[in-house]
Amino acid sequence: MRGRDEVNDVDIDDATNLIVATSIHHRAVYDILVALVGVNEGLKRQNDGLRIANAELVARFTAMLELQALAEEDLKNRVEFMRRMAANYLVCNSIQPTMTEKR
């Protein structure tokens, strides 16, 4: 009964192999968990970067909308100014005598 513990009737070699295999398994699980934590941290940083980029895009888009609104308002003002100028021109030309009428 070589390799057996006489008290518990357990094969010491089998028990040692089981302990070694369990230790290797636990180490592999630990390594996987460490890798997953690293991946999780990387994803968190990437997510933070995407949030910042998204916020910057929203700010730029909002600024573009504001500029577009200002440009539209400016264009309306210019069109209104041109209408008034044209109306004034027509009124002035209809009231003033022509050069031939002055003579």
Residue 5 gets the label, from left (phi > 0), alpha (psi -120 to 50) or beta, of: beta
For residue 6, what pLDDT is reported? 57
Give Cα separations from 53 to 9, 40, 66, 81 (angstroms): 66, 20, 20, 42
pLDDT of 98 over the 70 cut: no
The whole-model pTM stands at 0.51
Q: Contact at 8 Å (CB) between 15 and 25?
A: no
Domain ranges of the chain: 4-102
For residue 12, what pLDDT is reported? 83
